[in-house]
Amino acid sequence: MAKIIVKDFIESLKEMNILEIKELVDAMKEEFGIDPSAVAAAPAAAAADAEDEGPKQVDVMLTAVGGSKVKVIKVVRELTGMGLIEAKKLVDSAPVAIKEKVSEDEGKEISEKLTEAGATVELK
Same domain, 85 and 121: yes
Give the residue-averaged pLDDT of 15-33: 84
pLDDT tens by residue, 69-115: 899 999 989 988 888 999 898 889 888 888 888 888 888 898 899 89
Distance CA 94, CA 52 (A): 31
Alpha helices (runs of H) in the chain, residue ranges in sequence order: 6-15, 18-32, 36-51, 69-80, 84-92, 104-116
Same domain, 86 and 115: yes
Same domain, 85 and 40: no
Same domain, 42 and 100: no
**How high is the pLDDT of residue 70?**
92
- Residue 11: is its pLDDT beyond 70? yes
Q: Which domain holds residue 39?
A: 1-54
Same domain, 33 and 66: no
Q: Cβ-count burial of 114 within 10 angstroms (0-12 exposed, 13-18 middle, 19+ buried)?
A: buried
Q: What is the pTM of this model?
A: 0.54
Give residue 57's pLDDT band: very low, low, confident or very high (50, 70, 90).
confident
